[in-house]
Structure 1
Amino acid sequence: MRFRFLCLCMLGLSLNAHAAFSIPGFELVQTAPVETSLNNPDLADPVTIWCQQFDAAKTTIDIAQFYVTGEAGEPLEPVLEHLRKAGERGVKIRFLMDQHGLRMSNEATLTAIKSIPNLNFQLIDFGKIGGGIIHAKYIVVDGKSAFVGSQNFDWRALKHIHETGLLISDSKVAAQVQAIFNVDWQAQQLLAEGKPVPVLNQQVVAADESQSAYLVSSPNAYNPAGVGDSETELPKLLAKAQQEVYITVMTYAPLSYSVKKPAPYYAVIDDALRAAAQRGVKIHLMISAWNTGKPYIDYLKSLQVLPNIDVKVVTIPEAKQGFIPFARTLHSKTMEIDGKIAWIGTSNWEGGYMNTSRNLELVIQNPAMAKRLGELQRQLWNSPYAAALDINKTYPKPHPATAK
């Protein structure tokens, strides 16, 4: 069985060898939900990329995830097989997962990961550090290449969900991603020893916008040297917009994701969007149908009535096999500004992601990448899956199985 899936993955690598839209240092990666018209032949899929990364590893693989879940015969299985092969040939693997992700994880997948040779699996309660969770999804290989994207280590994210990521070969950015992993791995060890985790930044760290591509992260207090603050950078980029902005994100609201009722107000992003629209910038915002529950839908309607803001709700139809919990949705977290700037990351656009949780975002100031990302967004915007938000419509409450 293991050999069969290994062969299938290798076949996929061969078939997809031509699929590569890239600029120096970065390759755009997409998951298009099966049985939709959203596939792009020039964009590689994460299964291919992750298998290639693991096969190329010489010394180390570091992986950080919120949760993990697989199914027999589904796309995560060959990924785990290639990760196992890396461990068997002596590659040292560290796997860091947030403790709060256990409830969403599949026990069989956890067992399979923990059984991989040379793999050190650790849980971290990031709530004891920044107050949120490890929500970032990324991989670092040999400290020289990395993958950052919206794809969770979840078979559904590799087959049934709209996702966007980046393969990173830029050595400076990859080193920064490695530094973030090292900070969080050390934090886990300190927590396990009952020791405090030191704050790294007392002041907000500005991103180095002189670079054509740069990494920003959250929370600012626990970013390593040289990594800017994503919560500060997003409004700054929106303030630079002059003509048009396209945004795809699973959830959007000026509220903090919280167990508190009512949820705390969080206006950082909302204020920036409204300010851009007020000065004439056309804002195109796509959100998942999971975002239509109250009070979120009311905030979205308050945007839709404004000049220069258009909101669309994306609904991915049920798969032929029937309902799949926690699947068939928009999960990408991307922004394109004026055909000049691309933003690709792991944060939803509400409180709790860019201020208290560990998330990573890439800013690429490159017209070619911005144009290709914009095309990907317009493909979804103009598809039959995206419908204009109707301010007079009473939207159904999202299915209770469709949790974040």
Structure 2
Amino acid sequence: NCHCSFELVESVPYDLAFEINSTAAKPLYHAWMRLLDIAQEEIHVASYYWSLTGKDINVNDSSSKQGEDILKRFERLLADNVSVYVAASMPTLATNSTDLELLEEKGAHVKKIDFGHLAGGVLHSKFWIVDMKHIYIGSANMDWRSLSQVKEFGAVIYNCSCLAKDLWKTFSTYWDLGHANATIPFPWPLNYSTHINKNRPLEVEFNGILTKAYLTASPPAFCPEGRTHDLFAIISIISEAQEFVYVSVMEYFPTSRFTHPERYWPAIDNALRSAAFNYGVQIRLLVSCWTHSDPAMLYYLRSLRALNNPRAHISVDVLLFHCIGTSNWSEDYFINTAGVGLIIKQNSTNLQRTQLLQEQLKNLFERDWNSKYAVNLEDVEGQEDCNWRG
């Protein structure tokens, strides 16, 4: 019987100015600081890499201050005898960062997981578990830029031991393979299995509203018995949609990205097309577009949008968001890379005064969709990349 409190959190780059009084989620920095403030016994962090200080990339400006605050707060917790466990991917992108070495010197337990050796991908999950009862799950890396220069999104759930303990099982799948010559067990021992999944979601209260929730994982080899695979959950949600599917994602490819040769992989693309064409579900796709976006993505997005046919009640629209995020939809992120998801369903009653989480999410999506930063596919035509002049 969990009575949890839930809040959406986001990070908006300093130079991204939305309209005054527009919808906003709680700033990620404040959410992380609050979690660190209330930690009493232990924190488990699953992370791709750590780079919380500007000096990691020879940057000396004020925008790295929030990341440095977070690192200092972790150091203080260690000084106060709070246990810190960090699972990170190996090799690391942040080759100059000494964050994890610093925390280890202060007593943190750190394991570097060789995901390339284990599964062929990376540990791309980003979540925290605090005192086995509070959790953060989202897109943000442990990187100062995630707090000041990158658009990130996530959720914090307080006083929710039933979900926190289940997320800890996924953390354990990484932690327990953080040693030399580790291999993925098949099958996983029963203590990693879960009863909470798509078929049997957890019934909890979020902010006083009865909610069905479950956690998902990738890749399939890291889904012990009972754990729903990320991709299965996403395709199920799309296929069960009745009115609309709004998606905000950094990269969208109906292919693999890191295999040679690349493979065609239409799993999600087909689900979106089928929902639009067969059931009249409105599809909106908001995709990040920035200097390093692969221009090939635009062709796939145009192909998807070509399905749009208002006369036949088929609605498919794609906009490009001039911003960087960290969540990707291509085959690799579901097949060999570690990730987690949180699936939530709330039904409205006439009595409640609290806004449904789906409504809050929809409002944030529409803020981005209707902003000056979202542009049509045609607005980047003729340009080699997404680094257009707005």
- State the TM-score, normalized to the length of structure 2: 0.81
Check conservation: 1:293, 1:395, Cα contact below 8 A.
no
Measured after TM superposition, the shift of residue 172 of structure 1 is 1.8
Distance 1:91 1:35 in 2: 36
Report the counterpart of residue 242 of structure 1 in structure 2. Answer: 242
Whichever residue aligns with residue 81 of structure 1, its letter is K
Distance 1:224 1:174 in 2: 17
Check conservation: 1:176, 1:227, Cα contact below 8 A.
no
Report the counterpart of residue 77 of structure 1 in structure 2. Answer: 68
1:373-384 paired onto structure 2 within 5 Å: 373-384=361-372
Alignment partner of 1:159 is 2:148? yes
Whichever residue aligns with residue 370 of structure 1, its letter is Q
Aligned length: 343
Distance 2:380 2:41 in 1: 57
Evaluate the alpha carbon distance shift between residue 25 and residue 226 of structure 1 in structure 2; reply closer, same or farther with a 3 A threshold: farther
Check conservation: 2:215, 2:341, Cα contact below 8 A.
yes
Measured after TM superposition, the shift of residue 41 of structure 1 is 7.2
Distance 1:105 1:168 in 2: 32
Measured after TM superposition, the shift of residue 303 of structure 1 is 0.9
Whichever residue aligns with residue 282 of structure 2, its letter is K
Report the counterpart of residue 176 of structure 2 in structure 1. Answer: 186
Check conservation: 1:62, 1:139, Cα contact below 8 A.
yes
Q: Deviations over 1:363-402 (max 9, x none)?
A: 1112500000000000000000001212992342357xxx
Check conservation: 1:32, 1:38, Cα contact below 8 A.
no
Evaluate the alpha carbon distance shift between residue 195 and residue 356 of structure 1 in structure 2; reply closer, same or farther with a 3 A threshold: closer
Distance 2:285 2:257 in 1: 19
Measured after TM superposition, the shift of residue 301 of structure 1 is 1.0
Partner SS, residue 30 of structure 1? strand
Distance 2:139 2:40 in 1: 26
Measured after TM superposition, the shift of residue 259 of structure 1 is 4.6
Identify unmatched segments of 5+ residues in structure 2.
55-61, 203-211, 309-314, 348-355
Distance 2:53 2:40 in 1: 28
Alignment partner of 1:273 is 2:253? no
1:167-246 paired onto structure 2 within 5 Å: 167-169=156-158, 170-189=160-179, 192=180, 194-200=181-187, 207-208=198-199, 210-211=201-202, 212-246=212-246
Report the counterpart of residue 94 of structure 1 in structure 2. Answer: 85
Whichever residue aligns with residue 170 of structure 2, its letter is I
Check conservation: 1:301, 1:391, Cα contact below 8 A.
no
Measured after TM superposition, the shift of residue 222 of structure 1 is 1.6
Distance 2:172 2:380 in 1: 49
Alignment partner of 1:49 is 2:31? yes
Residue identity over aligned pairs, in percent, reads: 28
Distance 2:223 2:162 in 1: 15
Distance 1:314 1:360 in 2: 24
Check conservation: 1:29, 1:164, Cα contact below 8 A.
yes
Identify unmatched segments of 5+ residues in structure 1.
1-22, 317-328, 332-346, 400-404
Distance 1:222 1:373 in 2: 28
Evaluate the alpha carbon distance shift between residue 111 and residue 187 of structure 1 in structure 2; reply closer, same or farther with a 3 A threshold: closer
1:113-124 paired onto structure 2 within 5 Å: 113-115=103-105, 117-124=106-113
Whichever residue aligns with residue 378 of structure 1, its letter is E
Evaluate the alpha carbon distance shift between residue 235 and residue 161 of structure 1 in structure 2; reply closer, same or farther with a 3 A threshold: same
Report the counterpart of residue 11 of structure 2 in structure 1. Answer: 31
Distance 2:275 2:238 in 1: 7
1:330-369 paired onto structure 2 within 5 Å: 330-331=325-326, 347-366=327-346, 368-369=356-357
Partner SS, residue 310 of structure 1? strand
Measured after TM superposition, the shift of residue 109 of structure 1 is 3.2
Report the counterpart of residue 360 of structure 2 in structure 1. Answer: 372
Q: CA RMSD in A?
A: 2.5
Evaluate the alpha carbon distance shift between residue 245 and residue 209 of structure 1 in structure 2; reply closer, same or farther with a 3 A threshold: farther
Whichever residue aligns with residue 131 of structure 2, its letter is D
Q: Deviations over 1:32-52 (max 9, x none)?
A: 111323486762222212222
Whichever residue aligns with residue 277 of structure 1, its letter is A
Report the counterpart of residue 58 of structure 2 in structure 1. Answer: none
Whichever residue aligns with residue 32 of structure 1, its letter is V
Report the counterpart of residue 295 of structure 1 in structure 2. Answer: 296
Q: Deviations over 1:59-107 (max 9, x none)?
A: 211111111213345211111111111111111111111013x233542
